[in-house]
Amino acid sequence: MTDTGAGYTRPVPLPTGSPKIAPSILNADFARLGEVIAEIEDEVDLVHVDVMDGHFVPNLSFGIPIVESLRAVTDLYFDCHLMVTNPVALFEPLAAAGANLVTIHAEVHPDPTDAARIARELGLDFGLVINPPTPFEAVEPFVELADLVLVMSVHPGFGGQSFISDVLTKVESAKNWVDSHGLVTDIEIDGGITAATARLAADAGATVFVAGTAILGAADPVESAREIRKAASGA
Ligand code: DX5
Ligand code: ZN
pLDDT in tens, 171-222: 999 999 999 999 999 999 999 999 999 999 999 999 999 999 999 999 999 9
Whole-angstrom Cα distance, residue 88 to residue 126?
11
Q: What is the pLDDT of residue 88?
A: 98
Would residue 125 show up in a list of annotated catalytic residues for this protein? no
pLDDT in tens, 10-67: 578 899 999 999 999 999 999 999 999 999 999 999 999 999 999 999 999 999 999 9
Measured between alpha carbons, how far is residue 62 from residues 168, 173, 201, 210 in Å? 29, 32, 28, 18
Cα of 97 from ligand 2 centre, angstroms: 19
Cα of 3 from ligand 2 centre, angstroms: 28
pTM reported for the whole predicted model: 0.96
Report the CATH number at residue 164. Answer: 3.20.20.70
Whole-angstrom Cα distance, residue 169 to residue 30?
35
Would residue 50 show up in a list of annotated catalytic residues for this protein? yes
Whole domain around residue 216: which residue ranges?
A: 2-232
Q: What is the number of structural domains in the chain?
A: 1
- Inter-helix orientation angle 88-97/64-71, to 10°: 20
pLDDT in tens, 134-178: 999 999 999 999 999 999 999 999 999 999 999 999 999 999 999
Using 50, 70 and 90 to split pLDDT, how confident is the model at 127?
very high
